[in-house]
């Protein structure tokens, strides 16, 4: 291992590393049903970037609610094409309309808004998105907007891509979200490159030399956050440097990020797989500890009473607008043994 350490240190000291960029990325998010809400302040006559959406999203929906006169915009990142935008977008009208762009149907509520309410707009992308998209909001008047981006599960969580790993550089491979079963990440390279895995919650290095929970030369496993993690070791499968894997046996309970480090420069092939877990995370897991237990009872009690009209109310599990005894019963019904 000393030679590998010296190579990495030598590259760092002499600044010989070359900036690299992955030709693809691990994309587990696309195989899960997702909904993300962003609250933004939009200045008058200004545009705010809300989110960038990768390819491979099924039946993408973008919804906006605002009391101000603000408009949704949707941009094709690669070409700068305004798919939805007034006055020159492919879709730019006052009322509901649809158009085909890059082989997919895009539909837009129109800038007059849903039901004639300015600021309440929607964009639908039917099918599997094939362009990296940027969501923006433009302000005809200043105000706050809630923008929700959602998509349906893709079904398959398998994928593969290739990339060039520069000497002495760490490149991101992609994220591993919670609620996936039996995740495996493999890398295959004729050069000495190493996998790394980080807990995005607190920065814990789970896999990685030196200092990771798993940082040895050969196969080893460790339990972390209630899940077993296994690593082939930096010597590689069968003693072949550059041929490594990480396995997560069980359901992921932490958001993770995977990386690769180049002790030598070279090309690498990455494959990954995992299985979405139905009903995860459990809505009754209010504490986020991936268990339904007494901590969740305490959260319900702490939120007791009528829900505020302007804020989320996750403890209102039955959705009746009030946190009460019926919500405690739902927590007990979902109790983790």
- Percent of the chain residues past pLDDT 90, beyond the cut: 68
| The token pair that represents 302 in the structure block | 């702490």
Mean pLDDT of the chain: 89
Contact 228, 250 (CB under 8 A): yes
3-state percent breakdown (helix, strand, coil) of the chain, nearest 5: 10, 45, 45
Domains belonging to the chain, first-starting first, are: 2-27+155-276 (2.60.120.830), 34-152 (2.60.120.830), 294-333 (no CATH)
Distance CA 187, CA 243 (A): 6
Number of residues that make up the chain: 337
* Res. 10 pLDDT band, cuts 50 70 90: very low
Q: What is the pLDDT of residues 199-208, one digit of tens each?
A: 998 999 999 9
This prediction has a pTM of 0.69
Taken in order 85, 91, 93, 98, the sign of the CA dihedral is: negative
Give the rounded distance of the alpha carbon of 10 from its chain centre: 35
DSSP helix/strand/coil, 326: helix
DSSP assignment of 183-222: EEEEEE-SS-EEEEEEETTT--EEE-TTTSSB--SS-EEE
Taking CA atoms, 271 is separated from 22, 111, 162, 185, 299, in Å, by 13, 43, 9, 6, 40
So what's the pLDDT on residue 13?
Answer: 35
| The token pair that represents 29 in the structure block | 């998010």
Distance CA 93, CA 115 (A): 15
């Amino acid at each position: 291992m000393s030679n590998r350490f010296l190579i990495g240190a030598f590259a760092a000291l002499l600044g010989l590393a070359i900036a690299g960029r992955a030709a693809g990325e691990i994309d587990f998010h696309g195989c899960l049903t997702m909904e993300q809400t962003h609250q933004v302040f939009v200045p008058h006559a200004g545009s705010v970037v809300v989110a960038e959406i990768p390819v491979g999203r099924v039946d993408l929906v973008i919804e906006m609610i605002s009391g101000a006169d603000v408009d949704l915009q949707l941009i094709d990142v690669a070409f700068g094409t305004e798919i939805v935008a007034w006055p020159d977008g492919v879709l730019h009208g006052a009322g509901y309309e649809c158009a085909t762009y890059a082989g997919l149907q895009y539909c837009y509520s129109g800038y007059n808004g849903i039901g004639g309410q300015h600021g309440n707009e929607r964009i639908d992308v039917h099918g599997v998105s094939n362009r990296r998209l940027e969501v923006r909001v433009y302000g005809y008047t200043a105000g706050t907007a809630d923008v929700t981006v959602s998509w349906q599960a893709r079904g398959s969580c398998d994928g593969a891509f290739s990339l060039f790993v520069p000497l002495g550089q760490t490149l991101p491979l992609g994220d591993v979200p919670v609620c996936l079963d039996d995740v495996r990440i493999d890398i295959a390279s004729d050069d000495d490159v190493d996998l790394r895995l980080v807990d995005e919650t607190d920065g814990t290095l789970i896999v990685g030399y030196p200092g990771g929970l798993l940082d040895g030369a050969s196969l080893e496993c460790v339990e972390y956050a209630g899940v077993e993690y296994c690593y082939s070791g930096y010597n590689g499968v069968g003693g072949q440097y550059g041929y490594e894997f990480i396995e997560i046996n069980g359901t992921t309970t932490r958001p993770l990020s995977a990386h690769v480090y180049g002790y030598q420069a070279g090309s690498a092939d990455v494959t990954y797989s995992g299985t979405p877990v139905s009903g995860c995370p459990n809505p009754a897991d209010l504490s986020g500890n991936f268990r339904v237990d007494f901590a969740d009872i305490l959260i319900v009690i702490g939120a007791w009473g009528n829900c505020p009209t302007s804020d989320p109310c996750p403890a209102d599990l039955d959705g009746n607008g009030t946190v009460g005894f019926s919500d405690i019963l739902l927590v007990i019904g979902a109790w983790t043994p």
